[in-house]
Amino acid sequence: MIVDAIAFYSMAAVAVTGAVLVVTLRNAVHSALALGLSLAGVAGIFAALGADFLFAAQLLIYVGAIAVLIVFVLMLLGRASDLRLRQVNQQWAAALLICAITGVGLFHLAKLFGGIGAAAASRPTTRPLGLLMLGDYVLCFELVSLVLLAALLGAIFFSHKDAP
């Protein structure tokens, strides 16, 4: 029990700290590095939930690919003078209001589920996930590969030098 609590609170602290740094830091490259930290914290939350395959996929795809891709693109964009410009718009009060209203609703919902305690010990999930992907979800699995192919072609098309 106490191990569960330590895992949850440490990983939640990492994820939330990284997320706050993502939205507040002025330098976009620092934001991207904080995003990597936050995504690694979320991976730790998945591990605490017993989702072992999701933990590995999160580290491989999000931390290893998406965060690094964002850092690469940030190195191609922008100028040095961006560091002295304001990085947030003037709508922060309205945004804070929206967040407060949404937050009250979300935390009331979370409180409804507060009594549901720990379930049975978790088992390895890779084999059941593979059976599900190639069984019930095989159509979604094939469709998502088509989506990835379309994204690949779209990225090549849009980033080509003679693109419209």
Q: Would you count residue 151 as binding another protein (CB under 8 A)?
A: yes
Q: Would you count residue 69 as binding another protein (CB under 8 A)?
A: yes
Yes or no: say if 45 and 9 are a contact pair by the CB < 8 Å rule.
Answer: no
In angstroms, rounded to a whole number, what is the distance separating the alpha carbons of residues 164 and 159?
Answer: 10
C-beta of 84 vs 158, nearer to another protein: 158
Taking CB under 8 A as the criterion, the residue among 77, 83, 134, 139 binding another protein is 77
Residue 50: left (phi > 0), alpha (psi -120 to 50), or beta? left
Taking CB under 8 A as the criterion, the residue among 80, 116, 139, 142 binding another protein is 116
Yes or no: say if 33 and 71 are a contact pair by the CB < 8 Å rule.
Answer: yes
Residue whose entry in the numeric block shows the structure tokens 């589920």: 113
Taking CB under 8 A as the criterion, the residue among 14, 59, 62, 63 binding another protein is 62
Contacts of 12 (CB under 8 A, 6+ apart): 41, 45
Taking CB under 8 A as the criterion, the residue among 14, 58, 59, 63 binding another protein is 58
Smallest gap from residue 25 Cβ to another protein (A)? 9
Q: Would you count residue 84 as binding another protein (CB under 8 A)?
A: no
